[in-house]
Amino acid sequence: MKLSRLALAISFMPAALLAAEPYLSEPLVITSGRLAEPQTQATAATSVFTRQDIERLQVSSVVELLERVPGLSVVRTGGAGSQTGVFLRGTSTAQTLVLVDGQRIAAASSGTSSLEFLAPEQIERIEVVRGARSALYGSDAIGGVIQIFTRQGDGPGLKPYARLAAGSDSTYQRSLGLSGGDEHTRFHLGAALDETAGIDATRDGFGTNGDDDAYRNRSLSLNLSHHFNDDLQAGFSALDQRGQVEYDDVFTGLLPTTDFQVSSLSGFIDGQLNERWNSRLEIGHSKDQRDSGDDSPAAPDYSFFTYTTYRDAVSWVNTLTLSDNQQLLVGADWYEDRLHSSAAFAEDSRWNRAAFVQHRYTGETFSTELGLRHDDNQQFGSENTWNAALTLPLNSANDLILSYSEGFRAPTFNDLYDQWYGNPDLQAERSESYELQWRSRYSDTGSLQASLYRTEIEDAIVLDENFIPQNVQTARINGFEAAVQQELFGWQANLALALIDPRDRNSGHTLQRRAKRTLSLDVDRRFGDVSLGAGWRAISGRYDDAENQRDMSGYGLLSLRAAWQANEELGLSLKLDNLLDKDYAEATYSTPNGRFGYNSAGRTALFAVTWTPQL
């Protein structure tokens, strides 16, 4: 599989433009190698969701998409906007790096990213890299990397749109936007408002827990890029999500709420300096704010706590073409976290700087990838990580990929600097992963990606009996996953299957909240202007505690969807979720009356009208 000059030219296309190219027969990905490349050449297992997928699947949240990724399971503590955990390949939520247009959005206090607040209406594309990529991205990329690209302009002229949706639980969604441009400039501006009365997250009815938990989210996105000439372009993107979510307090009569804001700003300049050297500079800023308080009449606007993370970042990535079949990626990263909180912390800021290099060779009989990164952190010193991959083409339709990758996660501000429960002596969590992939384009209408992997995690951070974090856990995760795409009798089917055995090596227990088996199946077909689809998700049981004493039952969920393009400007859609009205819980909580499972939404319906006037 010799890398052609055309493929090299494609690989130099900037990330901001590639995010808007979901229509190619061989899709391009960015996140796996921090450069644009055909998905078949990316050494890391990668799942991609385009704008077309978001509209076809009629998803109302980012999490709905992520549940279709092999080896990724989700835990929610209620309905829309509730606290959400993502477990990728058996790793914890904080061990997966989340980026928005290249910017980290995780809270410095907890290390988790607010995926539950990101609106699909503002998203162009999502890439999920499965497996450690710390050799390219540094901290947090043990389980993988989730990168979200904001919505972009899709061609010349002006293209406005408006969407109205209404559904169960007094759910209302409104969005409008305008995109367009010319041969040099592309832009998109969009705004959305999502509201729902929600569901009652708790089952016990203790205190004031009998009320529904409402959710309101206002979002705004802007994306702009401009080509000054064939060799130079620049761009800017912004995403802002803010609103309020209600939750239950199981011990008092309060009506607690969280006011949130998740935002990111990024700008880039990308230049083809000569025929062999492409250079890209990115500058970004992100903010994660949560302000929780009491909204009851007796104490309106009373604040419990506030945590706000500000992060500034700079990245410089250079792609050097050494020959027709060799590439060298050389780059540097810097970012600084600042935490403003109502709680007391011994430190409220820290920086991280890093340099990385990755070499690629592409030949007819084999291809290789070798990368190394050095991070220097203000708190715990330096960390070196590396990765290696060997690709063996069996024939024109089948490849084997053998890979080794390392990952690490820096302790959070809560872990290190909390006045009462912090431990300043903590070191970074570390991982080693071994993987065998098989990729097959077994027919004109079918493809398969399958992986066997093993991940070893050392110095994982857990709380001791005094709630002080310690580097004491070791874990090993064995897994198998497969993703199949197949067209059959006009129906397009997408199947994702994963079998995972994540264990604490000290106790032998299964890691808590990890589902050992997950399955996702979607089938869709178009009949002229009408499209029909169905989805099935099956999740095995899991344990809600580290001691494996609280066993939670598995469940299966069925959904149906339909859409009709009435004319060039008007589209109608209808989606039914949890069609069988399955009663299930993904996590538990304790009260003076005992332990209960959080409620999840029952059968729901959402009807939407989309207007795209032709100008």
Give per-residue pLDDT as tens, 262-288: 999 999 999 999 999 999 999 999 999
Helix, strand, or coil (residue 279): strand
pLDDT of residue 370: 98
Report the alpha-carbon distance of residue 472 to residue 458 in Å, rounded: 8
Question: How many other C-beta atoms lie within 10 A of the C-beta of residue 297?
Answer: 7
**Phi, psi at 251, each rounded to 5°:** -115, -15
- Give yes or no for residue 560 having a pLDDT over 50: yes
What would the mean pLDDT of 475-491 be, rounded to a whole number?
A: 96
| Domain made up of 5-611: CATH architecture | Beta Barrel (2.40)
Helix, strand, or coil (residue 18): helix
Distances in Å between the alpha carbon of 259 and those of 85, 108, 174, 380, 407? Answer: 19, 18, 20, 33, 33
Cβ–Cβ under 8 Å, residues 492 and 509: no
- Give yes or no for residue 191 having a pLDDT over 90: yes
The secondary structure of residue 325, as a DSSP letter, is: T
What would the mean pLDDT of 62-71 be, rounded to a whole number?
A: 96
What would the mean pLDDT of 15-38 be, rounded to a whole number?
A: 66
* Closest by Cα among 33, 35, 38 to 15: 35
* Closest by Cα among 522, 489, 612 to 58: 522
pLDDT of residue 251: 65
Look at the block and give the residue holding tokens 């990024």. 266
Kindly list the domain boundaries of the chain, sorted by start residue.
5-611
pLDDT of residue 292: 87
Q: 564, exposed or middle or buried, with CB in 10 Å at 0-12, 13-18, 19+?
A: middle
Summarised one tens digit per residue, pLDDT across range 318-364 is: 999 999 999 999 999 999 999 999 888 999 999 999 999 999 999 99
Helix, strand, or coil (residue 158): strand
DSSP H helices, 286-327, are: none
Summarised one tens digit per residue, pLDDT across range 96-122 is: 999 999 999 999 999 999 999 999 999
What would the mean pLDDT of 179-202 be, rounded to a whole number?
A: 94
pLDDT-derived band at 207 (thresholds 50, 70, 90) equals low
Query: Are β-strands 96-100 and 144-150 bridged in parallel, bridged antiparallel, or unpaired?
Result: parallel
pLDDT of residue 592: 75
Q: For a pLDDT cut of 90, what percent of the chain falls above it?
A: 83
- What type of residue is 168? S
pLDDT-derived band at 4 (thresholds 50, 70, 90) equals very low
DSSP H helices, 162-319, are: none
* Closest by Cα among 19, 45, 22, 21 to 32: 45
pLDDT of residue 26: 63
Cβ–Cβ under 8 Å, residues 59 and 569: no
* Closest by Cα among 205, 199, 192 to 60: 192
Report the alpha-carbon distance of residue 266 to residue 19 in Å, rounded: 15
- Give yes or no for residue 19 having a pLDDT over 80: no
Greater model confidence, 31 or 17: 31
Q: What is the pTM of this model?
A: 0.93
Strand ranges (E), 91-170: 96-100, 103-104, 123-130, 144-150, 157-167
Report the alpha-carbon distance of residue 94 to residue 117 in Å, rounded: 17
Q: What is the largest CA-CA distance in the chain?
A: 73
**Phi, psi at 79, each rounded to 5°:** -90, -150
Mean residue pLDDT of the chain comes to 91
For the chain, the first-to-last Cα distance in angstroms comes to 45
3-7, 222-226, 339-343, 420-424, range with the lowest pLDDT: 3-7
Greater model confidence, 301 or 425: 425
DSSP H helices, 357-455, are: 413-417
- Give yes or no for residue 1 having a pLDDT over 60: no
- Give yes or no for residue 48 having a pLDDT over 50: yes
Report the alpha-carbon distance of residue 38 to residue 41 in Å, rounded: 5
Cβ–Cβ under 8 Å, residues 470 and 504: no
Helix count and strand count (H, E) for the chain: 6, 35
Greater model confidence, 419 or 95: 95
Bridge partners, residue 256, by sequence: 294
**Angle 190-194-199 (CA atoms, 0-180°, nearest 5)?**
160
